[in-house]
Amino acid sequence: MIDILTAMETELYKDIIEASEVAYTSIVERNSYYTKENVHRGPVCHMAASILLKHLRSIGYPAFQEKRTVNSGGHSYVVVDNQVVEILGDPTWQQFVSYNPRVVRPRVLVGTRDQVIEQALGFGMHVSHAGFWKPSPIRLIRKPSLATVDQKE
């Protein structure tokens, strides 16, 4: 299988990382509890995703903020949808894993839904949280190509 990110990876990946840093800086400036070293592990996903979304849209990406609830906990992240593939950017995923200063983890997860889930589980996230990034059945029905397929079955 061709790696879907290959063509987009360089620019989109860099833009999501840079926009996440903008979000971290903004949150740290607004809240003295957080520092540049710990903000990505804090429960600030709604604020971080909102800032990330605004920045990505300002540079031309077709993006939206997705808010999901799994196991009575909520989480937000950004999805860039170019109608071919959805690429997720999650700057606060580490709030769901135990902090260990000896374990190096990426501050931001970037990839398709399956790639983000695989990365998160590989870095120690409990499988019960993987539902945050699974496709929503409601969004699938709204996509014209999939709605057409569903109607034919």
Q: What is the dihedral of CA 112, 115, 121, 127, to 10 degrees?
A: 50
Closest CA to 55 of 12, 5, 84: 12
Average pLDDT, the chain: 84
Tokens of 96: 């769901």
Is residue 21 within 8 A of residue 69, CB to CB? The reply is no
pLDDT of residue 153: 30
Q: What are the backbone dihedrals phi and psi of residue 73, each rounded to the nearest 5 degrees, phi first?
A: -115, 145
Domain ranges in the chain are 5-152
**Crossing angle, helix 14-30 and helix 45-58, to 10 degrees?**
130
Tokens of 81: 């949808």
Residue 77: which pLDDT band, with cuts at 50, 70 and 90? Answer: very high
pLDDT of residue 47: 96
pLDDT of residue 70: 84
Closest CA to 88 of 64, 124, 54, 60: 64
Q: Which residues have a Cβ under 8 Å from the Cβ of 65 and sit 6 or more positions away? A: 49, 50, 53, 76, 77, 78, 79
Q: What is the pLDDT of residues 87-122, one digit of tens each?
A: 999 999 999 999 999 999 999 999 999 999 999 999
Is residue 30 within 8 A of residue 51, CB to CB? The reply is no
**Sheet of 86-90: strands edge to edge?**
63-70, 73-81, 86-90, 109-111
